[in-house]
Amino acid sequence: MKIFVVNSGSSSLKYQLLDMDSGVVMTTGLVERIGDAMGKVSQKSWPGTEREAEVEREVAFPDHRAAMHTVVELVTGADTGVIASSAEIDAIGHRVVQGGETLFKSTLIDDDVVEKIRENCHLSPLHNPANLVGIEVARELFAGVPQVAVFDTEFHQTMPAEAFMYPIPYELYEELKIRRYGFHGTSHRYVAQQAAAMLGKAEDDVNLVTLHLGNGCSMAAVRGGKCIDTSMGLTPLAGVMMGTRSGDIDPAILPFLMKEKGLSMDEVDSILNKQSGLKGICGMNDMRDIHAAAEKGDKKAALAVDMFVYRIKKYIGAYYAVTGPLDALVFTAGIGENDEIVRARVCANLEHLGISIDPARNAGRKKVATAVQADGSKVAILVIPTNEELAIAKATLSVLK
Ligand code: ADP
């Protein structure tokens, strides 16, 4: 059974071909800068043990259709690919960011589902339209192959109303469905399941705080294996501090900025999404550059890290209060997996909560799941590389079954 996973973003397209029988990733690739004057595609394939094929091409991709055509060519190419034709693909799994309140379970895609995803574009104007283009092109190019939508929001659907409602007029929820949805759900669920396995516990028997720290950052409170709260909200702008997104701020800052600086709503939106977070404080949004600058004495870089860590710590405290006795903190994604400094600083001085990290175990980037707590730490500290593609492929498979 071969499943092709598509994550179609606004200007990029990530994909993987997985052999579900052996659990092997056959191909992984990324198309970047779709719509720009020049784009790039890079792909790695493992057709078997005997060879690894790597391609990197600078080509212009006017749109997602062109990108997907090239992807199909590369995946099936005699020199570049692992399969002879796209007919070998049994199913396609699509990442979809937002399906609203009614569409969150992984589902077989038909015209009706496409229409519902389209209806929810206003809730996720940056992501849903791009996800839809990926779906539409794939339905065209792989006619007859079953396609499944897997939603970012699914894992968070178990949140109780007290966690997902905002304290604004109830009618706004009824009329516009304004509520907390949460994102990165595929990743939070994947690492929560892996954590349960590492702890030797049943999936529905773990209390966790999961930390997805990448360019976008979110946290989730997991009680009995179910998500009971998460830091992102109606949109992925809320919660902890991120690469370029502010996370939680006083909402009155928006009208204040509009009034004081004469900015439009779109301008304020762009400041909060693209020019805030780490970048807003120190001008950089890659944690590696920020650490390097801080080491050289850049005060704003140091402040950015201090703020990033402080805000995560506060969420740990808040979530600890609602999960009940905590089994583990789980770090994942670009920063969570690779950044020992952030992990160490987030866990520092939390011994009173039973959280104690071991510096030697924590050292270095983690390519495989690793427990990094000190001996005697009541709460485990796990670093678990996320694998959203595998999670999407598994969800796709279970829909087909
Ligand atoms: P995305 O949200 O785009 O999927 P990733 O999960 O790939 O992001 O995370 C990207 C971020 O991870 C980078 O911006 C960078 O800050 C961070 N990162 C990656 N490698 C390292 C590393 N070795 N040390 C510190 N941070 C890292």
Using DSSP bridges, classify how beta strands 147-151 and 91-96 pair: parallel, antiparallel or unpaired: parallel
What pLDDT was estimated at residue 51? 61
Confidence of residue 23 (pLDDT cuts 50, 70, 90): confident
Ligand 1 center to 217 CA (angstroms): 10
Which residues make Cβ contacts (< 8 Å) with residue 361, sequence separation at least 6?
370, 371, 372, 373, 374
Whether 334 has a binding-site annotation, put simply, is: yes
Which residues make Cβ contacts (< 8 Å) with residue 168, sequence separation at least 6?
178
What pLDDT was estimated at residue 48? 65
What pLDDT was estimated at residue 47? 67
Which is catalytic among the residues 21, 90, 152, 358?
152
Confidence of residue 82 (pLDDT cuts 50, 70, 90): confident
Of 352, 279, 348, nearest to 309 (Cα)? 348
Ligand 1 in contact with 389 (CB < 6 A)?
Answer: no
What pLDDT was estimated at residue 123? 86
Q: Which fold has domain 2-151?
A: Nucleotidyltransferase; domain 5 (3.30.420)
What pLDDT was estimated at residue 40? 94
Task: Kindly report the pTM of this predicted structure.
Answer: 0.93
Question: 55-59, 76-80, 208-212, 266-270: which has the minimum mean pLDDT?
Answer: 76-80
Count Cβ atoms below 10 Å from residue 144 Cβ, excluding itself.
6
Find the mean pLDDT for residues 142-152.
94
Whether 273 has a binding-site annotation, put simply, is: no
Q: Would you say residue 349 has pLDDT above 80? A: yes
Are domains 2-151 and 200-388 of this chain identical in fold? yes
Gyration radius from the chain CA atoms: 21
Ligand 1 in contact with 287 (CB < 6 A)?
Answer: yes
Ligand 1 in contact with 278 (CB < 6 A)?
Answer: no
Where in the chain are the domains? Answer: 2-151, 200-388
152 in active site: yes
Find the mean pLDDT for residues 168-192.
96
Count Cβ atoms below 10 Å from residue 265 Cβ, excluding itself.
10
Give 16-22 contacts, CB < 8 A, sequence gap 24+.
16/389, 16/393, 17/75, 17/82, 17/83, 17/89, 18/389, 18/390, 18/393, 20/393, 20/394, 20/397
Q: Would you say residue 81 has pLDDT above 90? A: no
How many angstroms separate the CA atoms of 134 and 136, rounded? 6
Ligand 1 in contact with 214 (CB < 6 A)?
Answer: yes
How many angstroms separate the CA atoms of 127 and 11, rounded? 10
What pLDDT was estimated at residue 122? 86
CATH numeric code, 200-388: 3.30.420.40
Find the mean pLDDT for residues 6-16.
90
Residue carrying the six token digits 């179910």 = 226
Of 131, 143, 147, 123, nearest to 7 (Cα)? 131
Task: Fill in the DSSP letter of residue 374.
Answer: P
